[in-house]
Amino acid sequence: MYDFLEQNSMYLVLFIALIIWAGIFLYLNKIDRNLKKLEREEQK
């Protein structure tokens, strides 16, 4: 197991970085959409 992780460490880093990025992206997207709703309510 340790050997496998050592040999593929870069892929492991990529995998974790992609999960973190997906989380940040979804969070930003959610804030963006909620803001759009609030802005529409504000205009009414």
Partner 1 sequence: MNNFYKITVFLSITLVLIGTTIIPIPFIPGLGDKARIIYLHVPMSWIAVLSFLLSMIYSVKYLRKRDLVDDVKAVSAAEVGFLFTILATITGSLWAKFNWGSFWNWDPRETSIFILMLIYGAYFSLRSAIENHDQKAKLASVYAIIAFVTVPFFIFIMPRIVESLHPADTIVNTQGKINMNPVMLTIFLFSLFSFTLVFFWVLNVKIRIEKLKLNRIQKNNI
- For partner 1, the binding residues (CB under 8 A) are 10-11, 13-14, 17-18, 21, 25, 28-29, 31-32, 35, 38-39, 42
Any idea what DSSP says for residue 8? T
Residue 3 beta carbon to partner 1: minimum distance, rounded to whole angstroms: 18
Question: Residue 12 CB: number of other CB atoms within 10 A?
Answer: 13
Q: What are phi and psi of 30, to 5 degrees?
A: -65, -45
Nearer Cβ to partner 1 (5/35):
35
Residue 42 beta carbon to partner 1: minimum distance, rounded to whole angstroms: 6
Please answer whether residues 10 and 17 qualify as being in contact, where contact means their C-beta atoms are separated by less than 8 angstroms: no
